[in-house]
Amino acid sequence: MRSIILCLFAFTLIACDKEPIPQQLEEKPEEKPIDLGVPHNEIWYTTSDRRTINPLWGPSLEHEIVSNTYQGNKAIMQFAGDITTIGNGLFSNIYNLTSMTLPSSVTSIGVSAFDNSNKLSRIDLPSSITEIGEAAFASCALTDMEVPQDVTVLNKRVFAQNSDLERVTLPNGLTKIFESAFTACHSLKTIEIPNSVEEIGRCAFADCRSLEKFSGAFASEDGRALIIGDRLVAFAPSGITSYEIPRNVKIIGDTAFGSCTELEGITIPEGVTDIEQLAFSDCKKLESITIPSSVKTMGNSCCRTYGSNLVVYCKPTTPPTALLVSQKYWGAFAANKITIYVPTESVEAYKAAEHWSSFKDNIVGYDF
């Protein structure tokens, strides 16, 4: 399927380079969905032990299964009618499933449809698919994924915890990448964000430890960050031990640097006003962080590094407002040993401020 789509894409590029032609010649025949050769009432698959599988969630079946046998190098699951939907949880937790090819009659894949089928390394999706549900392919073993062109939304955790996933091709019409879509895709090295994307959710690329570069929409000049407006929402940490946040950033987003376990130094520029929750969470080697005087708010657990030591140089003369999302305890800082340096004249204000007061024994005056 990939080679067919690449050929079509190359043809489009060549056509764009040609001189304008009369309007009546520009019209193209309507593209037909790419057909993978699977009859509409069948699903083809393979397993690690050549045993057949059975869907685990009966209510998600559209039609009764009439036969299910291995034939040559693949198994064929045949249904009493055409398949249009892979229902919620239908092939989840099937530990011997290794590959699957779907018919072009399928238009949607349900919530957790293949979740935790942890040997599933290949899924051939027809271009007819327009919707993929939350966690549809979470905790699988996918290595290469091409999202069908008519999919406009990547839902929560759709490819989360595919630790072997190295390559992803996103469609040009994609508009939203929701929360944790690619969380813990440990082998993902680069990803291009289509210009059509308008929204990227929290943790979308958290713990993608091999990620070296973003390209396309919202990518910073160095390719290391995704910046939407003035908000840094994601970071590509591979090979980086220190980083200077671009000066156009005003907000360090929720979990933006979360789980960057090799990060030892971070430079936050003056002009940053907000550090959101979990922004630097679990950065275990980050032993020092300077909060510029421009910062007005800090979210809960924003600097919970969980390392051996954490020294915080907090420059604002007025304690930044502690923002809580869903918990009562702010807990902005966490390490074995914590020292928080604040302006000498503001020591008492920090010790008395709401939520900062829980760190009063760690607060020390400093002449910046």
Q: Which two tokens stand for residue 180?
A: 């944790």
- Tell me whether residue 299 is in a domain: yes
Q: Is 115 left (phi over 0), alpha (psi -120 to 50) or beta?
A: beta
Here the contacts of 343-348 (C-beta below 8 Å, separation 24 or greater) are 343/315, 343/316, 343/317, 343/367, 343/368, 345/317, 346/316, 346/317, 346/318, 346/319
Beta strand 97-101 with 42-47: parallel, antiparallel or unpaired? antiparallel
- Tell me whether residue 331 is in a domain: yes
CB 237 within 8 A of CB 264: no
Taking the C-alpha atoms of residue 126 and residue 132, their distance in angstroms, rounded to an integer, is 12
- Tell me whether residue 195 is in a domain: no
- Tell me whether residue 192 is in a domain: no
Beta strand 85-86 with 108-109: parallel, antiparallel or unpaired? parallel
What is the CA angle 3-6-7, rounded to 5? 85
Residue 208's pLDDT is: 96
Taking the C-alpha atoms of residue 301 and residue 308, their distance in angstroms, rounded to an integer, is 16
Interior/surface letters 135-148, b for 16+ CB within 10 angstroms, e for the rest: bbbbbbbbeebbbb
- Tell me whether residue 202 is in a domain: no
Strand partners, 214: 191
Phi, psi for residue 349 in degrees, rounded to 5: -65, -40
- Tell me whether residue 169 is in a domain: no
- Spell out the per-residue pLDDT of the chain, length 368, in tens: 434 333 333 333 333 333 332 333 334 344 455 567 899 999 999 999 999 999 977 778 899 999 999 999 999 999 999 999 999 999 999 999 999 999 999 999 999 999 999 999 999 999 999 999 999 999 999 999 999 999 999 999 999 999 999 999 999 999 999 999 999 999 999 999 999 999 999 999 999 999 999 999 999 999 999 999 999 999 999 999 999 999 999 999 999 999 999 999 999 999 999 999 999 999 999 999 999 999 999 999 999 999 999 999 999 999 999 999 877 789 999 999 999 999 999 999 999 999 999 999 999 999 99
Q: What CATH number does residue 367 fall under? A: 3.80.10.10
- Tell me whether residue 226 is in a domain: no
Tally the domains of the chain: 1
Residue 291's pLDDT is: 98
Residue 35's pLDDT is: 65
Taking the C-alpha atoms of residue 197 and residue 195, their distance in angstroms, rounded to an integer, is 5
CB 245 within 8 A of CB 272: yes
Residue 320's pLDDT is: 98
Residue 359's domain comprises: 250-368
- Tell me whether residue 84 is in a domain: no
